[in-house]
Amino acid sequence: GVTWGHAANATGALVMHQMQCLAQAVPALGLTI
């Protein structure tokens, strides 16, 4: 099965990915508004 460590790493990677997307999207929204 999936270990707790692997689940934590996957969750952390997902959060980091979302944060990076937001970091790129916010300036773009600021330019369009």
pLDDT tens string 5-26: 888 899 999 999 999 989 998 8
User: How far is Cα 32 from Cα 28, in angstroms, rounded to an integer?
Assistant: 6
> What is the structure's pLDDT at 11?
92
pTM given for the model: 0.56
Tokens (6 digits) for 26: 């916010």
List own/partner pairs for 3-12 with CB under 8 A and 24 or more apart. none
Distances (CA, A) of 31 to 18, 19, 27: 20, 19, 6
How far is it, in rounded angstroms, from Cα 19 to Cα 3?
24
- pLDDT category at 1 given cuts 50, 70, 90 is low
Q: Which residue has the higher pLDDT, 26 or 32?
A: 26
How far is it, in rounded angstroms, from Cα 12 to Cα 26?
Answer: 21
